[in-house]
Amino acid sequence: MVARASRATARLAGCASGPHGLRQDPERSFGSRRHPASASGSGPPPPHRSPRRPVSSTDAPARAVQRAPPHRLIALAVAGPQFPFTRAFPRKSIVKSSGSARATRRNAVSSSSAPANAELPARRAAKTARKPNGAAARTIAPTNAASAKPHGRTREDKDRPLFEDIRYLGRLLGDVVREQEGDAVFDVVETIRQTAVKFRREDDKTAAQTLEKMLRKLTPEQTVSVVRAFSYFSHLANIAEDRHHNRRRRIHALAGSAPQAGTVAYALDKLRQAGDASSKTIKQFFEGALIVPVLTAHPTEVQRKSILDAQHDIARLLAERDQPLTARERAHNEALLRARVTTLWQTRMLRDARLTVADEIENALSYYRATFLDELPALYTDIEEALAEHGLPARVPAFFQMGSWIGGDRDGNPNVTAATLDEAINRQAAVIFEHYLEQVHKLGAELSVSNLLVGASDALKALAAASPDQSPHRVDEPYRRALIGVYTRLAASARVRLGEGAVPVRSAGRGAAPVRATPYADAEEFVADLRVLTDSLAVHHGESLATPRLAPLMRAAEVYGFHLASIDLRQSSDIHEAVIAELLARGGVEPDYAALPEADKLRVLLAALADPRPLRSPYLDYSDLAKSELGVLERAHAIRAQFGARAVRNYIISHTETVSDLVEVLLLQKETGLFEGTLGAPHANARNGLMVIPLFETIADLRNASDIMREFFALPGVGELLAHQGHEQEVMLGYSDSNKDGGFLTSNWELYRAELALVDLFHERGIKLRLFHGRGGTVGRGGGPTYQAILSQPPGTVNGQIRLTEQGEVIASKFANPEIGRRNLETVVAATLEATLAPHSNAPKQLPAFEAAMQTLSDAAMASYRALVYETPGFTDYFFSSTPITEIAELNIGSRPASRKLQDPKHRKIEDLRAIPWGFSWGQCRLLLTGWYGFGGAVAAYLDGAPDAAERGKRVALLRKMNKTWPFFANLLSNMDMVLAKTDLAVASRYAQLVADKKLRKHVFERIVAEWHRTASALAEITGAQARLAANPLLARSIKNRFPYLDPLNHLQVELIKRHRAGDTNARLRRGIHLTINGIAAGLRNTG
């Protein structure tokens, strides 16, 4: 059965094919043998290292491309035999001016964007057989750049630069491996790769035995080097893919193509065509909108900051190669790239110690410096210019803000305390103050406007007069004098909030003493001063002077305030109950609160909320738990007074199962001063508290969500509380735990149903609903493309407001690159705009029939999933044996434990395991079970349950129509398609061999294999596509091209786990396991 599954998997995955669809040659390899003349690293580069020369618009037809000796290992998946004898394909871009400032900015040449006449990387090809001492150079005339037609080019032509970049980076890595480790290690890497490819494609038992024998013979030192080689290729391939996405978007922009889906311009075009883009409608949308990505730090974030920094430099240098460079500049660029790849190789990939919360805070802040501080204000500018181009109101409020759980998420993490909350807000504030001070300083250098030449407003003159600057050289420069005053007040603002010396401060000018200036009471005062400068420039012919720096700074101040990101507090409901029970017992109110029925709990809680007297006494001592929990809330109260209410404004209640879970947090806020006044009593005036946000996670909780909220709204005093919240209430939905509880299909369906029930309830009560989506990085945890995910939400659930988690494991891939980061941010805005103003697009006419079919499928899928995971005897042992879950728990990834409870091997349960490492483990063994299991059997049961062939045909037709006209169902199938493309039953069968009980191994694995085939068959019958990702060939190729480098990592991981579990305590062996975990995660481009 396993052999058949392996062969079927190989057929489905196919062979990695290149741009012309040719079968890749498994004998091709990566790197290149060092040319004798350059063995020392000095002297001219060998022929295969010759720098790619610029192709100008005039000499492109005459330019020749040198042939090179074959590259080994890393060239395989992207080069293949089609690269020899291919010609150079210079990219042709068409410049079309849109006449807007945005077009001007985007068409400007930058280090991260290709200009209209950008040179292509040299098209070097290789013969399939090595020639001694390097190959004699041959040249082939490239095609004429002028004759290239972007719109007539094939997909393969468009993707050729991507393959060339991967091949180029692979060559650099191969050179570094040979240089650093020697020929022996290089050859071991190549032999393992070839054998793994043979095992994958041919299900060759001899190859499997050879591979196993080879891996057993590896020394610990060799193992580490081999794993690092394959892992770093995955990292470099990711960089090349990101670069290609940016390149393609720029080519579209330069060619004057229609706006692409996922952009605000596309959303506006779509709404205008549907008649939904009136000025009034758009204005109302942005006035009521609130979009907040919330950064989290979960225990599957595997990349060190040092590695990310090196990758950022490599990405920047790779982007420079799209610019017209001289031969000397290009050689210098390659030298820098080689140095950074060498830095990667010589940098420790793993952390020596587990991350602390402080480390996680700093990691998150690095993305603000790299992306958010500059790109979010730039996104606002893009949005406003897109609106202006459509003749719509241009100025929008600060509707897009940032959130964070890092430092405030205590659920299951005892390392998060009041001290870490304090650390988080102080470090956030330090980063934003440093940014403001630096930008104001630079503005002072730029705005050298003299009032001898141009006037200034009275308000600006007053601001300048209040400045401490006494220099006679700036008497006629009111803007500079005003900015010195602004700088000193900012510096004073930082000092009073963070302490002396927390933020570096420059000299603000002669006679200035920054720390003695009057600090700003809040960020709004700072914005008001900046607005004085902007308004004065606007009325005195200087509006253009505000565009480069002043306008983005003012927008940043509106968005980030003095706190940078709003920190959510989160804790589990059972902890709240324990603290409340202690307060009530020590206060003599209720001796055993936890044992009370729900109605009595509410009676006690409401009485305490209506009583102005506190439960807590300063004369009594309380448990460490109570003191810690109350200390966090007290610190939150102080933070709000110090940095403003936006700094901490939400409290997430994990495992919300009853109404009392919500009311308990209101009482805790009252006890710590966050919640002012009383609730429910005559003349009560409850106000200023944190919004209590229920988190519904399990299938049962999702089904009860609307009933719980209905009962909460009916409580005395809650109506007044909602009025203080602007008649808004947020509800969080958990994707990870619901998937672990009920499986992929049922999780998605119950989330959909819960959202619809909440929409109906909130509409009935006249309350605005804001949903907070706890999406993970993988499909099994609610991941997948954000744009499609938002558009597939049920009608009426978005309504201009949305919060969604950006999980720690995917933050790097989405936001490390500034250009990719801005695109991801814009996607959320565009999708929210479309989903809000055109919700009818997600409500097909046959929706009742669709929903009935989904309910039938969901019931069957959940039964199948739970039968496997929770009802199969021995499944827990199978899971812990056949996946690297134990080793993942040991990896120093995050500050948060992998389990909510300590794992006793004799009593461990799936229920106690966190959903995130649960999904992470299935990804590592290449089954990704959380993203598909149960669907195939459910569809088969639905179709086989038809009484006759005619009815079966009707059911098939209904499923196909659901896929074509219902975004929810189409998105579900699209995500499942992607997951199936990443699975590999042949590789997974090797992990199954880790299960000692042969009978258990055979029973469970064969069930999984059978369901995989049922799922693939069902998907094919519904979509009509036999191949995986037929609608997304670029992604399909990207995934397939990774397999030759992922497979060896998996095989190595299995072998190393065997040794580790057999008692081998070698430190290098453990390090090798952890390196494979890192490399596989990078290759799959997500983790948990």
Number of neighbouring beta carbons within 10 Å of residue 206: 11
Helices of type H across 613-743: 624-643, 659-672, 699-713, 718-724, 736-742
Q: Strand, helix or coil at 1026?
A: coil
Return all residues near 840 (Cβ < 8 A) that are at least 6 apart.
795
Locate 47 and state its tokens: 């022929």
The two beta strands, 768-774 and 801-806, are parallel
Catalytic residue among 270, 298, 435, 773: 298
Distance from the first to the final alpha carbon of the chain: 29
- Sequence letter at residue 916: I
Locate 215 and state its tokens: 């891996």
740 is catalytic: yes
| Buried-exposed string 385-408: b where 16+ CB fall within 10 A, e elsewhere | bbbebbebeeebebbbbbbbbbbb
Q: Strand, helix or coil at 901?
A: coil
127 is catalytic: no
**CB distance 412 to 299 below 8 Å:** no
Distance (Å, whole) CA 957 – CA 315: 47
Distance (Å, whole) CA 53 – CA 56: 9
Distance (Å, whole) CA 269 – CA 732: 31
| Buried-exposed string 456-488: b where 16+ CB fall within 10 A, e elsewhere | bbebbbebbeebbbeeeebeebbbbbbbbbbbb
- Sequence letter at residue 432: I
Return all residues near 497 (Cβ < 8 A) that are at least 6 apart.
429, 519, 562, 642, 643
- Phi then psi for 292, rounded to 5 degrees? -140, 105
Catalytic residue among 563, 740, 814, 1074: 740
Locate tokens 């400032």: which residue? 101
Helices 818-837, 279-288: inter-axial angle, 10-degree rounding:
120
Distance (Å, whole) CA 512 – CA 492: 12
Longest dimension (CA), the chain: 96
Instruction: Report the Cα 1082 to chain-centroid distance in Å.
Output: 13
CA–CA distance from 778 to each of 83, 490, 789, 932 (Å)? Answer: 34, 42, 13, 12
Distance (Å, whole) CA 661 – CA 638: 24
Distance (Å, whole) CA 120 – CA 89: 7
Q: Percent helix, strand, coil in the chain (nearest 5)?
A: 60, 5, 35
**CB distance 322 to 833 below 8 Å:** no
Distance (Å, whole) CA 227 – CA 209: 20
Distance (Å, whole) CA 512 – CA 507: 8
Q: 573: closest CA among 548, 601, 554?
A: 601
Beta bridge partners of 195: none
Locate tokens 């004898």: which residue? 85
CA within 13 Å, CB half, 872: 23
Locate 263 and state its tokens: 């952009």
Q: Strand, helix or coil at 934?
A: coil
Distance (Å, whole) CA 708 – CA 456: 59
CA–CA distance from 621 to each of 585, 586, 613, 1009, 1073 (Å)? Answer: 12, 9, 18, 58, 47
Q: 499: closest CA among 426, 418, 424?
A: 426
The residues assigned a catalytic role are: 298, 740
